[in-house]
């Protein structure tokens, strides 16, 4: 089972005719999807670094020298993929009624005493990369921390050179920020 890159491009862009989209949804999955997916994404970015793992509509983990960085399509870099990339984004926190009602008017408005709607923008291009709706004071959510080395080594059968330790490094950054305050 395999689909052409042309069909997959159209699928991702929402341009594939519905009967073909439905076919892709309902039939057994294609084994070469990941490689074609990455090729399509690679064609669409301006930077030369190899994409290792897609992370969002505009974000990918790329190999940059010996580092694995989160990078926006526009080229902006968000640091090591093991740190929550949100730490290096711009944030607009909708934390009062006025800001919330810009999106959620009247009856739709969450309670600003309880809820914060956080928007994360790319500092390079102003794309809205993620919206987070959480209780006030909740730590930033690290939505996805892919185990890239296990994936390439054990699932794809082609290990990456220079494997990295798989661990959440977000708190290395926040603890450093805390020390800056002392």
Partner 1 sequence: MSESKGIGEGGKTIKQMMEGNERLYRETGCYAGITEPHLLKENPVKGELFHSRIMASLIAGRETTRMVSGSPFVREVAELCLGLYTPEGDNIAQSTGIQIHIKLMGDNIQWMINKNYEEEVGINDGDFFISNDPVISGMHAADVYDMLPIFWEGELIGWVSTVIMEMDIGAVSPGLMPTPNVERGTDGLKFCCERIGSNDKLNRDFEHKIEFCLDMSDIFLLDRKGAIASNIRVREDIKRIINEFGIEYYKRAIRELIEEERRNQIVRIRQRMVPGRYRGVVPAEFPMADQPVAWLPAKRDTIRLIPIQMDVLPAGGLVLDFEGVGEWGWHPFNGTPQAVWGGVSIVTVQTLAYDGRGNLGSLLPIDVKEPPIDSLLNPSQIKKLATSTPWAPLLDVFGMWTHLLGIAFYLRGFREETFNYRSSAGWQMAGYDQMGNKRPLLAAGTGYFGPGACGVCDGVDCGGWLATPEVDLGSAEVWELFVPHMEMSHRIEPYSVGYGRFRSGLAIPQVVMIHRSQQLVGSGALGTASDGIIPNLGQFGGYPGGRRNTLLLRYDNLPELMEKRQPLLYEVGHPADLKDRFPGQVFDMGLIPVPTEIYEGDLLVSVSTAAGGLGDPIERDPALITADMDNGLTTEWQASSIYCVKTSYDEEAKQWKVDEAATKELRQAKRKERLARGVPVKEWWQRSRQRLMDRNVDDKILEMYQSSMRLSEAFTQEFKDFWALPDDFNL
Site for partner 1 in 110-169 (CB under 8 A): 110-111, 113-115, 117, 119-121, 123, 125-148, 150-151, 154-155, 166, 168
Residue 41 CA to residue 167 CA, distance in Å, equals 26
Least CB distance to partner 1 at residue 43 (A):
14
Q: Quote the least distance from Cβ 96 to partner 1, whole Å.
A: 13
Distance CA 107, CA 80 (A): 41
x/- site string to partner 1, residues 70 to 109, per CB under 8 A? ----------------xxxxxxxx-------xxxxxxxxx
Q: Where are the alpha helices (DSSP H) in 33-81?
A: 33-44
Would you say the C-alpha torsion 3, 35, 39, 77 has a positive or negative sign? Answer: positive
Beta bridge pairs of residue 53: 61
Looking at the Cβ atoms of 93 and 162, the one nearer to partner 1 is 93
What is the nearest approach in angstroms of partner 1 to the Cβ of residue 65?
23
Taking the complex as a whole, how short is the minimal distance between the CB of residue 47 and partner 1, in angstroms? 19
Looking at the Cβ atoms of 46 and 113, the one nearer to partner 1 is 113
Task: State the greatest distance between any 2 C-alpha atoms of the chain, in Å, as a whole number.
Answer: 61
What is d(CA 18, CA 10) in angstroms, rounded to the nearest whole number?
11
Q: How many CA atoms lie within 13 A of 176 on its CB side?
A: 7
Residues 30 to 69 in contact with partner 1, rule: CB under 8 A: 31, 33-34, 36-38, 53-58
């Amino acid at each position: 089972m395999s689909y052409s890159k042309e069909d997959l491009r159209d699928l991702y862009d929402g341009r594939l005719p519905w009967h073909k989209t439905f076919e892709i949804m309902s039939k057994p999955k294609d084994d070469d999807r990941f490689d074609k997916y990455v090729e399509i994404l690679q064609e669409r970015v301006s930077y030369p670094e190899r994409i290792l793992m897609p992370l969002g509509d505009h974000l990918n983990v790329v190999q940059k020298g010996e580092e694995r960085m989160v990078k926006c399509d526009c080229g902006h870099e968000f640091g090591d993929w093991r740190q929550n990339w949100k730490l290096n984004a711009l944030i607009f926190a909708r934390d009062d009624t006025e800001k919330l009602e810009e999106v959620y008017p009247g009856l739709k408005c969450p309670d600003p005493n309880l809820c914060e709607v956080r928007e994360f923008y790319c500092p390079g291009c102003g794309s809205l990369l993620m919206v987070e709706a959480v209780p006030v004071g909740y730590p930033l959510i690290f939505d996805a921390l892919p185990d890239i080395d296990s994936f390439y080594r054990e699932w794809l059968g082609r290990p990456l050179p220079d494997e990295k330790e798989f661990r959440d490094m977000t708190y290395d950054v926040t603890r450093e920020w805390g020390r800056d305050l002392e």
